[in-house]
Structure 1
Amino acid sequence: MHDLNDMLLFAQVVKAKSFSGAAQRLGISKSRVSKSVARLEAALGVRLLQRSTRRLGLTEVGEAYLEHCERIADELAQADLTVGSLHSEPRGKLRFSAPVAFSTLHVASALPDFMARYPDLSVEMTISDRLVDLVEEGYDLALRITPEPGPNLVARRLAPIRRKICGSPAYLARCGVPRRPEDLIGHNCLDYTYQNTQGIWHLQGPGGDAAIPVSGSLRINDDEALSQAVLGGLGLALLPTFIVGRELQSGRLVEVLPGYVPTERFVYAVYMPNRHLPAKVRAFIDFLLERFGSEPYWDR
């Protein structure tokens, strides 16, 4: 197989019309250029150049071969431009995974603004609470809600994920308002079963951490469905504010024990370590930071 560098050097010699001119243009020695062309001719078994003391010309075979070399050089230059533009300007396809409730409520609604800002970009979003494998499954990044994003990935913190103990005004009028964490034991506490801490609410308060055993008549593995049961007056639940922020702001739900909150989590953008982070990934992360921030709109 012919050496690509020898082919490109041959094209430069023809363009410069001399070995010394090509060497000067490329910043290498004349002997290196000469050896490169000789090596190419030996590999092909033909003479490409007619050499004389006054001029350098192409043989008939050399003219035909030059066309192929120039086309390869043009395609390489175009490939460099394509890679450069993909890294300098957000374009191409952005493929990411995001958790179900958060992406449905807050990411999907943000996409029209993001895509209007970057019209050369298309998006493929996978909505799933499963931890996808970025490399194996071909994702540019993933959004994850967790206390710690874990090793082997770069993680950018996008926004805090806060949970509050919530109840409807009707439930609290009927069953009373808890004043201390221990009062929760006497309430119908609806539990979220997706986590491993079923039946225990871990709270942080003025007196430190507290693990409160709770029980109730309903357990659900989906926070949005759980919030609907709480809105219906069935009981209390520990709900993320990105789901119930609007209801808390309007008074349809009431925060209970406001001095006691669970350990804070965050939504992170995670991606593979990459010295040259694609512009599309950087642009999306910057957009979400601008959209959410340290005090996101659902908590204001």
Structure 2
Amino acid sequence: MYDVVLLSLASGAPAGSEACGIGGSCCGGADHQGAEQVTDRSCAEPGTRVPVLACGDTLTAAGARVEYVTARSDAEIDEVLARLDGPPREDGLTWPDTESKTRVIIAAASDAQIRAVVRRMVRRFAPPPSKRPADLATARTVPDLPALGVLPLDPARAGTPDDLVALLGLPREPAAVAAAVLGDRIRRFDLLRTDAGSVTLDGTLLAGKGEDGKPLPWRGRVQVDDAVLSDGEEGILACAVGNAGGYAQLDGIPLLSGADPGDGTVEVAVAVPVLTKARFRRSRLRIEVRRARGRAASVQPRDGEVQFEDDGVAGTLNRKRSWWTEAGAWAAYVS
């Protein structure tokens, strides 16, 4: 039978934290660094106690050995992921154990927390370029990552357009998640790696906004493989870089038309305001949406900072950012 770790990330992480997939501490600041793992089921985070324990009870009833861990730092996430390590390789690399009897469930209050764990997994198993092994697929920089269970903890997001669990077709009820993790069905998904050292599971939306919340045009060069969607000379209302399709629109503007997390490509959409002049009529402003698919994409802001949201995490971008597709790199247990 399996050993199952129900991994929660402590609440209160700042927006720039590693728990959100960017950098810093995982769980609420430096005062939490080095805190002990929570392995006592009575110490689960108050807001997540019911679904986590319900899932754990179902696992225990099925004969699994269950451990409850609340991680408060990146190091504590890494300690859990270390249980998925394979035997030592001759080349010194750490590779996943395909025969492991340990399974990990992320009890996630947000998409950012799922990404935080996948990001640490990528960092753990991705070989440095100088030690690229011959058995790594040509179009990949990481091996097949171990499958994860995902237990969503925010019922309010169920069925919303940006609900990653729904977009990926994953089970969401505690009993269903437990059954999937104890089964043998997994589904592999693409992930996007970035030159900033992060990963993206759903997508990124770059859109400047004023104090009134309305979109403000910004300029930048947007490219997908060899296709240039914007050369940096015109205003852009929004740019979506999509893997799973959660950023399909912004304020009624249709962006991504069909991002697929299993097709090995990234879809990019750019919304550009265009002034249309007609004879004997007043000029009219329309929104032109340009789309392209490819293996890699880049955005280079031209004037200052651009606001963005990546897997639900807000930030600003003031330099070139590149994304590339790792086809089928991560996986989740499915019903």
**Normalising to structure 2: TM-score of the pair?**
0.27
Tell me: higher relative CO, structure 1 or 2? Use CA pairs within 8 A at least 6 residues apart: 1
More helix by share: 1
Determine which structure has the larger strand proportion and give its number: 2
Normalising by the residue count of structure 1, what TM-score does the alignment of the two structures yield? 0.29
